Structure 1
Amino acid sequence: MRKLILGFYCSVDGKSADADNGIRDVMTGVDDPEQEKYFVDGLWEAGAFLMGRVTYEAMAGFWPTSDHPSAKAMNEIPKVVFSRTLESAGDWPETRIASGDTAAEIAELKAEPGKDLVAAGGTAFLHSLIKLGVVDEYRLWGLPAATGRGAPLFPELAEPLNLRLVKSTAFPSGVLELIYAPAG
């Protein structure tokens, strides 16, 4: 069975780039060839890239014509967009829409053979996955900046979500990758 891996770039104070809080500028301003290669190599390990409609619309307007080092992977890896309103996946190659029940769609994707699933994007979609309890691994990319504002990864939880550290990787730029799995 495939795992669902949630990927999230954030400031050291745990805020996302959803809001105009400067993290997007930090993210795009990191000049670290070692981290970039590590990230792109990791993308190729994904069996599918999962996202919500808002993230899809932003990415579909960028990746198909981008010369960014991640573009080839982002264009060739299968993508699944979770949306009940989107009618077409447009021209972004290897993209399909999942419009049914999110938990059921995730269960079907996990049951398929192949490489693990990677979910990323806006916090609204990621919050829904966390609340459904379908995340098998959290890959947090801590950027070397604090913002004091922006959306946190974890929504209000009914009870604490205990995690165990699986792996950590530090890069020369100050970016940290922290991989956690649910404990117990």
Structure 2
Amino acid sequence: MRKLILGFYVSIDGKSADADNGIRDVMMGIDDTEQEEYFVNQLWEAGAFLMGRNTYAAMAGFWPTSGHPSAKAMNEIPKVVFSRTLRSADDWPETRIASGDTAEEIAKLKAEPGKDLVAAGGTAFMHSLIKLGVVDEYRLWVLPAVTGKGAALFPELDEAVRLRLVKSTAFPSGVLELRYVPADK
């Protein structure tokens, strides 16, 4: 069975790039060849990318014509957009729409053969996956910045979710990749 990996860039104070809080500028300003190569290699390990409609709209307007080092992987790896309103995903090759119940759609995707699933995107989509309890691994890319504002990566929960660190990688730029799994797994 495939795992669902939640991957997200976050500031040291736990804020996402959803708001205009400067995180995108920090991300774009990082010049770290080692981190970029590592990231691209991880992209190729994904069996599919999962995202919400808003993230799809932003990415479909960028990746198909991008010359970025990640573009080949982003365009060739299958993508699944979770949306009940989107009718077409023709703007970005290798993309299909999942419009059913999110937990059921995730269960079907996990049951398919292939490489692990990577969810990326806005905090609303991430929050829904966390609240459903379908995340098997968290890969947080912690950026060397504090924003003091913006959307929190994790939603308010009824009870704490205990996690266990399984890997950490530090890059020359100060970016950290932290991998966590639920403590009970």
TM-score, with length taken from structure 2: 0.99
Q: CA RMSD in A?
A: 0.4
Letter in 1 for 2:178: L
Aligned to 1:131: 131
Q: Which residue of 1 aligns with 2:141?
A: 141
Aligned counterpart, 1:82? 82
Letter in 2 for 1:102: T
2:124 and 2:17 mapped to 1: Cα distance?
12
Stretches of structure 1 that go unaligned for 5 or more consecutive residues are none
State the 1:91 CA deviation.
Answer: 2.6
Deviation string, structure 1 residues 126-182 (Cα, Å, up to 9, x no partner) = 000000000000000000000011111110010001000000000000000000000
**What is the correspondence of 1:1-184 to structure 2 with a 5 Å cutoff?**
1-184=1-184
Letter in 2 for 1:126: M
What are structure 2's unaligned runs of at least 5 residues? none
Give the match's secondary structure for 2:24: helix
Aligned-residue identity in percent? 85
In structure 2, how many angstroms separate the alpha carbons of the residues matched to 1:84 and 1:38? Answer: 34
CA distance in 1, matches of 2:152, 2:168: 20
Tell me how far apart the structure 1 counterparts of residues 66 and 84 of structure 2 sit (CA, whole Å). 28
Stretches (4+) displaced over 6 A: none
User: Which shifted more, 86-95 or 128-137?
Assistant: 86-95
